[in-house]
Chain A
């Protein structure tokens, strides 16, 4: 099977979707002729023409707002916000409009849009190229939020998102674009061509939204992770020798609560990890759900490892990013509790 990077897999997903459905249109800043600052849309304009893939003015609210109007017309826009850090001007359109149009019009109008956003840190991106704003979306009724961790899932989830009848926020961990990353910045990076999850089938397939997957089976403790943190958690398990079960959530909303509960009931312990800041982060929701549904099976407090409650710094990148050492400590503490 062909191996692809996450960038190629994402591009392939849009290519497949555009080929199958002429209602799918792709646009955003630098997305057209140039093919995107991360090359995710390279070649799409040449293949499908300027009316299907085009450059947009630098105006996030305009990009999302026009996409909403197109969806109301009957198209299926898959738009790009260059960095998740720059979604804020579009927040009004996403939360008050896209998320609610089906509900407020009782299905008279719907909003089948996908908003792709490169997310996450670990790349010396500083304050406005590293953020993980997923909790700002999971808190909004009416949106779906997806975070893939590998090329195979990225393609399948993105096709599923484009075909989904409701608005989907598709957060792409840019640290994973070219290869998996376990937080060991001192080691050379590996490429997706050397990783089995870099195997991306040709043509159409989907990975269903709302389904988690176990990346590392284990019996001692459950680690709930998504995006880059999946690899960090796996590394932490290997390095501590703790038999952790690492769950890659893939979709944050709808959440695969059954998979979480089944695992925590088995292990009796749970560590939640994410790059985003701690306070009111998505980890708080996960920890609350675990204690609500697994209280009598828990043998230790649910632990959280997250970004510190500060803006994402530049020079202190690796003191901020929750790497394998910090996750490992949390695993040990949870086992000893």
Chain B
């Protein structure tokens, strides 16, 4: 007699009411992972897809071969970017609760990933972000007021009220137009990088995807094309452990790593501590140099934790323990960089508290400015005419007729 087949559905270790437990997540010591040369043969660094590159240790010291790339000023700036993003998130989260916009998505706990990465790119490089990389804009000096105008869909919204909040677009700041359809931009980034190579340019592209969306077919498409054409692209996977309510095991994390998926395509793959500003920056810089030197794509898995709700429409207490983010072994990216700067002797708890207050004031001032232009349900709005325009370079006759019917 053969036993009946059993259907397997992965489950997270702990559900609401349980005690958070990450003891099964191996965390290598800071400084323990080597830094290979940028022309390394991917086969020689397979281990890096299964480890975690970390720079900051428990005492806030930067250690190992991936350390010492950034100056005090650069690190202080990085801290400010992360704190700004967190303060921005808090205000916009509240604005959504106050009915000033329909929707918002926070970055809580993931601030290092996008802000540190941005500083490793050069002017003219292009990111193809998801909806959780607004730190790319903050770190590039994109005006917060403009971001808020987009979130409020007000008269000053650069996207004329056509897009859901946070689906920003800025060619000038190397930030490709965000789409609600997951993973589509991952393969577009590869195409952009191919175009740069075809044109004999020196610019590179960065693709972004979350752990859950790696299950989409465009993840595979992107890896095939990036590998086939040796495209100058950095393929980022932000593994924040959660895709709305599904833990990363449903995207088959845990079977190897997300980084390891690059290995089958001959793409060098690295895992990095996503809550370590210095490590994210160092790894991004390595991959950028590699791409720019014609050695082709790199896959980076940023290991982090989605500390906030998935969105303003989500309540994580329904599917994971409330205090799970406190138990996350890689800690809080802001606290860790703060401690490092204190260790370096260029920062203090007092200055941090002062900076927090200043940043909050700056964000509030930006919010006041944005709200002068209206919010979703009050004040000035984009025109109804804007709804019909800009679909094609030239409006076709049937749209002109519909615009007339709409009385605009």
Q: Which residue numbers of A lie inside 8 Å of B, CB to CB?
A: 25, 51-52, 56-57, 59, 61-62, 65-70, 72-75, 77, 89, 92-93, 96-97, 100-110, 141-142, 144, 164-166, 210, 253-255, 257-258
Contact = CB atoms under 8 A, between A and B. Distances in A.
A166 B393 contact: yes
Contacts of A92: 181, 184, 218
Contacts of B217: 61, 89
B391 A67 contact: no
B195 A96 contact: no
Interface string B220-248: 11101100100000000000000000000
Nearest to B391: A103
Given A65-B187, A66-B191, A51 B221 contact: no
B221 A73 contact: no
A104 B163 contact: yes
A54 to B, nearest CB: 8
Interface stretch (B72-80, B110-118, B169-177): B169-177
A39 to B, nearest CB: 24
A66 B190 contact: yes
A142 B392 contact: yes
A106 B158 contact: yes
13 contacts: A56-B225, A65-B187, A65-B218, A66-B194, A74-B195, A96-B179, A102-B392, A104-B163, A104-B177, A104-B179, A106-B169, A109-B171, A258-B397
Contacts of B169: 104-106, 108-109
A59 B224 contact: yes
Contacts of B167: 104
A74 B199 CA distance: 10
A67 B194 CA distance: 9
Contacts, number: 147
Given A51-B198, A72-B192, A73-B192, A102 B393 contact: yes
Contacts of A110: 393
B392 A257 contact: no
Contacts of A52: 198
Contacts of B196: 73
A113 B184 CA distance: 16
A97 B195 contact: no
B188 to A, nearest CB: 4
Interface string B383-401: 0000000111100111000
Among A66, A101, A103, max chain B CB count under 10 A is at A66
B221 A109 contact: no
Contacts of A257: 397-398
A165 B393 contact: yes
Given A97-B179, A106-B158, A109-B171, A62 B222 contact: yes
A102 B391 CA distance: 6
B177 A109 contact: yes
Given A69-B205, A96-B181, A257-B397, A107 B390 contact: yes
A106 B221 contact: no
B198 A57 contact: no
